[in-house]
Structure 1
Amino acid sequence: MATTTQPPTTPNDLASVTKTLDLLAPRWSVWVLMTLSSQPLRYAEIKPRLPWLADGQLHPRLRHLTGAGVVERTEYAPRHVTYGLTGRGAELLPVLAQIASWGDTHLEKQLVASKATGELEPERIAPAQNIDDALALIAPRHATPILVTLQARGRASAKTLAAEAMPGYGLTAVYKPLDRLVADGLVTAAGSGGFQLSASGQALGPVFQAITTWAARPPAETDPLRRRGSAPSQTRSGPWATTPARLPAPAVPAAPSAGPALATTPPADPAWKPGDLFSHQIPARPITPAGGPRR
């Protein structure tokens, strides 16, 4: 499958992609962002939506995302604090949709029995889980530089990949990340010691391009939601992503339900529904023997 957009090709573009992946890669960060995508919430409203996270896991994620400028903490009173997406965080939602779409299309799924017909069909995976699983493949150190180099070259030897994707490292250092990408189904051996992207690896081009476009936006200090010295409003702290004022938190679903699939081309302003987030439990899934990138 050929890509329709070019991946980042400059050192600055590559640095912006890897920096954004570092922002998203810590586990559960994406789940927190998607939980806050509709409206700002208090901590006590976030916690029931992510019941598997202990306080020692949720607080660090909120601090991490707040420090990165994609979540804003607004204190109205000592015991009345809300968290919501900044304008920068809202602009990240289409990027998440692009990653989720890639994961839903290209990552392996188990076959499960349909409740309606009893026939085997691919497992339905929540968008947030697709994103986390995709990030687990492309966020490790050196993975993205190797993928981007192969996007630009089409085919390259290990020596070329070591020189261009991992400058300053010796030739032998490239084999471990390269072997991992081959095992994950994103890179294939091309013969005569060369390597090239698989169809799934080629399809990552729009993902990298979406991240590059987001990272090229003005720095955080120019975001009006993050200017220092502004006093918090008594009703809201800024123009939230999708909801102009606070609304009552939706009830936690009694049981997981399948959410709508994401389109290949993400909407300009996606609204994540509770079913998108909670449509899948979080068991460890074994790798299936079918082809395609592993989860």
Structure 2
Amino acid sequence: MATTGLPRSTPADVSRVTESLEMIAPRWSAWILMTLSAQPLRYAEIKPRLPWLKDGTLHPKLGKLTDAGLVERTEIAPGHVTYGLTGRGADLMPVLTVIAAWGEAHLEKPLVRNKATGELERATQVAPAQNIEDTLALLGPRHATPLLWALKARGASSAKALAAEAMPGYRLSNVYPQLDRLVEDGLVRKDGIVFELTANGQALAPVYRALSVWAAGRPLADADTHPLWGQTPSPAQARSGPWLTTPSRLPAPAAPAAPAAAPALSTHAPATTWKAGDLFSHQIPARPLSLPSAGGPRR
């Protein structure tokens, strides 16, 4: 068997991380989880906090997050049901903080209109939930994480080698669209027939090591010991290269004022919470569009 730079535990590690991304990457999942991070809420309390969600969208998404073990549905009394984070969902909150930080540092800020001058200018910051969702849109596609993982382990590699490592059982031709999307997303560069991680791709180290320990059920404090992503990127890797972009956004309704806090009804205390003002921070007067399924510019 050919040897690679991947640690022996990597296949299971990548599989767990990929499955975790499948849970949290679907659109609006991050917004819902963060909305529930402070306390359990009734459906009628959640919906006004996410006013742009279409009718009929929230309930199935809550159901999927419940099935994934991240949200718990509690029937207090007939007709009185609350939704809150499970212990597993609460443990995810610090991981989402790491993902939000990567998005804030590496994704291009959207254009917003200055109320005073009427001119379009770059936002200074983006709401944490939006940074999380936009980052997950880059990592969530089926083969994105295995390919990035293989490039981290192998260094500069050919498409053939990457296909064998990250997409066994697929034809070689199937790897090229996946790599092209990662190149367009700014996480991978191509030099002739060789592919390698960009500085932005290398800087995913904190994100992947945080996802890895959470997926394995280990504390976030163990993240720095990850055998592949544990090394902290150099300052040049941490912030260099062009900003990654996503599609422009459409106007969204302003976030409503948060209702008075109710007593927590769950026995699981979230490890990290966001106030409503944090969730919709900086009042960006825009909402995300559906991201392309195969490459294209980002934010």
Tell me the TM-score normalised to structure 2 length. Answer: 0.74
Give the whole-Å Cα distance in 1 for the aligned partners of 2:214 and 2:290: 33
Q: Report the counterpart of residue 127 of structure 2 in structure 1.
A: 126
Partner in structure 2 of residue 188 of structure 1: 189
Name 2:249's counterpart in structure 1. Answer: none
Question: What corresponds to 1:155 in structure 2?
Answer: 156
Q: Following TM superposition, by how much is the alpha carbon of 1:153 offset from its aligned partner in structure 2, in angstroms? A: 1.3
**Structure 1 residue 165 and structure 2 residue 170: aligned?**
no
Which residue does 2:11 correspond to in 1? 11
Tell me the residue number matched to 2:241. Answer: none
Residue 80 of structure 2 corresponds to residue 80 of structure 1: yes
Query: 1:217 and 1:283, CA in 2 relative to 1: closer, same or farther beyond 3 A?
Result: closer
For each residue in 1:225-261, what CA deviation from the matched residue of structure 2 results, as whole angstroms up to 9, or x when unmatched? xxxxxxxxxx87642324xxxxxxxxxxxxxxxxxxx
**Corresponding residue number in structure 2 for 1:139:** 140
Tell me the SS of whatever aligns to 1:83.
strand
- 2:222 maps to none
User: Within the alignment, does 1:241 sit opposite 2:269 as a pair?
Assistant: yes
Report SS of the residue matched to 1:69. Answer: coil
Q: Comparing both chains, which one has the higher relative contact order based on Cα–Cα distances under 8 Å and sequence gaps of 6 or more?
A: 1
* Cα pair distance change 1:281/1:15, threshold 3 Å: farther
The 1-side partners of 2:68 and 2:265 are apart by: 17
Question: Is the Cα–Cα contact under 8 Å of residues 7 and 151 in structure 1 kept in the other structure?
Answer: no
The whole-number CA distance in structure 1 between the counterparts of 2:126 and 2:278 is 9
Cα distance, 1:26–1:115 mapped onto 2, change above 3 Å: same
Query: Corresponding residue for 1:275?
Result: 277
Q: Distance in 2 between matches of 1:275 and 1:137?
A: 26
User: For residues 41 and 284 of structure 1, what CA distance do their matches in structure 2 show?
Assistant: 24
Equivalent AA in structure 1 for residue 132 of structure 2 = I
> In the TM superposition, what is the alpha-carbon distance from 1:107 to its structure 2 partner?
0.9
1:263-293, Cα deviation, whole Å (9 max, x unpaired): xxxxxx3221112222334435799xxxxx8
Tell me how many residue pairs correspond in the alignment: 242
Q: In the alignment, which residue of structure 1 is the partner of 2:203?
A: 203
Query: Which residue does 1:26 correspond to in 2?
Result: 26
Relative to structure 1, the CA distance from residue 34 to residue 286 in structure 2 (aligned partners, 3 Å threshold; closer, same or farther) is closer
Structure 1 unaligned regions, length at least 5:
1-5, 219-234, 243-268, 288-292
Provide the rounded CA distance (Å) in 2 between the counterparts of 1:47 and 1:241: 22
Relative to structure 1, is the Cα distance of residues 83 and 110 closer, same or farther in structure 2, using a 3 angstrom cutoff?
Answer: closer
In structure 2, the partner of 1:63 is 63
Return the TM-score normalized by structure 1. 0.75
User: What's 1:41 paired with?
Assistant: 41
**132-141 or 116-125, larger mean C-alpha shift:** 116-125
Matched residues, percent identical? 61
**1:96-144 CA-partner distances (Å, limit 9, x unpaired):** 1111111111111235466689895544211111111111111011111
Inter-CA distance 129–144: structure 2 relative to 1 (3 Å threshold):
same
- Aligned positions of 1:170-181 closer than 5 A: 170-181=171-182
Query: Structure 1 residues 109 and 39, CA, compared in 2 at 3 Å: closer, same or farther?
Result: same
Question: Aligned AA for 2:278?
Answer: D
Contact 2:94 2:272 in 1 (8 A): yes
Q: CA deviation at 1:150?
A: 0.6
Are 1:8 and 1:148, in contact at CA under 8 Å, matched by a contact in 2? Answer: no
Residues 197 and 18 of structure 1: CA distance in aligned 2, closer, same or farther (over 3 Å):
same
Q: Between 40-49 and 273-282, report the one with greater CA deviation.
A: 273-282
Contact in 2 for aligned 1:112/1:123 (Cα 8 Å): no
Which blocks of at least 5 consecutive residues in structure 2 are unaligned? 1-5, 219-262, 292-296
